[in-house]
């Protein structure tokens, strides 16, 4: 019986967030994705860099609310490398 351990109760990973924080987080992630897509279709280097910088700012704002997910962190890493 020593080797049988009781199951741990699952804790919601976002339980500490308020509804407003969660909506703001989603808004920032959505804006960052829009700016990233926009940067691919921009024609001038200035507009591309502006879109990329705005996407980075949105991701950093989202990161202040809670840690970024794997996809968002990969996107931030790709944008900061450029």
Question: pLDDT band at residue 69, thresholds of 50, 70 and 90?
Answer: confident
**Domains of the chain by residue range:** 19-81
Segment 9-31, tens digit of pLDDT:
776 666 677 889 989 999 999 99
Question: DSSP secondary structure string, 14-67?
Answer: TTTS-HHHHHHHHHHHHHHHHHHHHHHH--SHHHHHHHHHHHHHHHHHHHHHS-
pLDDT at residue 1 greater than cutoff 60: no
Q: Average of pLDDT values for 44-62?
A: 94
Round to whole Å and give the CA distance between 59 and 34. 12
Encoded tokens for 7:
């199951």
Whole-number average pLDDT of the chain: 87
State the pLDDT at residue 8: 72
| Of 27, 17, 11, 23, residue with least CA distance to 66 | 17
Residue 47 vs residue 8, higher pLDDT: 47
């Amino acid at each position: 019986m020593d080797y049988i351990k009781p199951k741990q109760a699952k804790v919601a990973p976002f339980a500490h967030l308020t509804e407003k924080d969660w909506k703001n987080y989603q808004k920032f992630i959505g804006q960052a994705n829009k700016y990233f897509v926009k940067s691919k279709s921009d024609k001038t280097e200035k507009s591309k860099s502006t879109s990329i910088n705005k996407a980075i700012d949105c991701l950093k704002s989202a990161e202040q609310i809670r840690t970024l997910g794997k996809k968002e962190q990969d996107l931030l890493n790709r944008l900061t490398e450029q």
